[in-house]
Amino acid sequence: MRSKFILLVEDNPDDEELTLRALSKAKVDTEVVIARDGQEAVDFLFGAGDFKQRNTDEMPQVVLLDLKLPKLNGVDVLKQMRRHPRTRLLPVVVLTSSSEDEDKVRCYESGANSYVCKPVESTAFIEAVTRLGAYWLLHNESAARR
């Protein structure tokens, strides 16, 4: 069985790279699985499409979910997760560039555990993700089924 891992759902290669660098800096020794659009994230979580052979008993410790994604947006991914017993309790951090109140409300109403605006400056972005990784992987006690 796989140890703790993160599902990073991010379509921007620069933000993906910064997130991976931040998690490394936080010394969070965990695998990061990357989905580059909302449909790929859903397929990964539910063992569909290219992930039909994946062991769906192994779920991420936390999902870092961008809001504005191709194919299926972050809110729709979140809604699908919250409807299914296997993923209903998975911690989801919306990590987005949107600071719109409407987006925040939609995400929390859809079951987000946290909403973090991506800082524009790369050092601040790395610091924010470093703290997220440390909290969700090292300190948080998850109720999600394994």
Check which CATH number belongs to the domain holding 75 and give it: 3.40.50.2300
Domain span including residue 17? 13-24+31-97+107-116
Q: What pLDDT shows up at residue 145?
A: 45
Q: Quick one: how many helices (H) and strands (E) in the chain?
A: 5, 5
* Structural domain count, the chain: 1
If you average pLDDT over residues 30-46, what whole number do you get? 95
What's the distance, CA 38 to chain centroid?
A: 11
1 belongs to a structural domain: no
Model pLDDT for residues 115-145, shown as the tens digit of each residue: 988 877 777 777 777 777 767 766 666 665 4
pTM score over 0.85: yes
63 belongs to a structural domain: yes
37 belongs to a structural domain: yes
69 belongs to a structural domain: yes
The CA-to-CA distance between both ends of the chain, in Å, stands at 11
